Amino acid sequence: MLRLNLADNFLEGTIPVSLENYSQLEELDLSYNHLSGAIPEKLAGNLIELNVSENKLSGKIPSSIESCVMLEDLNLNGNFFEGTIPSFKKLRSIRVLNLAHNNLSGQIPKFLGELPLLGYLNLSGNNFDGEVPAEGVFTNASAFSVAGNDKLCGGIKALQLHECPKQRQKTGVHRKVVILASCAALFLLLVVASVCAVIHRRKQKKSGPSLASPLEKKYQRVSYSELVHATGGFSSTNIIGDGKYGTVYKGTLGSDDQVAVKVFKLRQRGANKTFMAEITR
């Protein structure tokens, strides 16, 4: 059997799954009945035309329709299908696609504009949102309809839809980079300032009188680059303690002097007071 036309009757119930057994079936028309339920997951693989419009079918449009690679005309108009449009990328022979007057939602897939033979597309009367593609069938206003989808934007000028909001993701990323860079600078300054309070005293040779300040007599001056080198670039393998306000790294200054370097967590409330308490001990 190549064609089965049961359109415009009073048929009720669900579409029988046994239809998949008619492997040679090319045209199936069940339109204008009272059929309910979902479209069977498996359909005859040689279908060229499938029309189940104006019924009471519901559920999601099965992605298995994509396996009907010979399909040229698919009409699901006037039902209660919901969810998003599944992938129809393999329907390279499709010429007519009517999904109008259902409860479909989500964005209109861009792959619909990439189907080479698609000459008529009807998505009207659904709940689609987002930007209307502007390639393929979407370049010809007389070849497609998206009427009745109030949340759509963009598309070709003939649609007279409002412009889509400009994405500001890049600006947001730029701001984050600036903030992180500022925090990093403060972090480095605090590391240099706090090292005097946490490093162990190095052995000093006795020397003559000096005009150095009390702090310079008590602690050795250490540069930030020396600290980076001593701790292996503040490597996690050198962490010997991690608390609420800071992290302590072990390191080696010079050839054998062992030190502990505490890095305060600036973003943690109370870290500044802890730092002041450390250096005044």
Give the helix/strand (H/E) hosting 191: helix 169-198
Q: What sign has the CA pseudo-torsion 254, 255, 258, 262? A: positive
Contact criterion met (CB below 8 Å) for 249 and 240: yes
In the structure encoding, which two tokens stand for residue 1, read together? 């059997």
Three-state DSSP at 199 gives coil
* 16 closest CA partner among 1, 38, 31: 38
Residue appearing with tokens 């972090």? 187
The binding site for ATP consists of 262
DSSP 74-85: EE--SSEEEE--
Residues annotated within the binding site are 262
In contact, 127 and 103? CB cutoff 8 Å = yes
Spatial contact of 131 and 110, defined as CB atoms under 8 Å apart = no
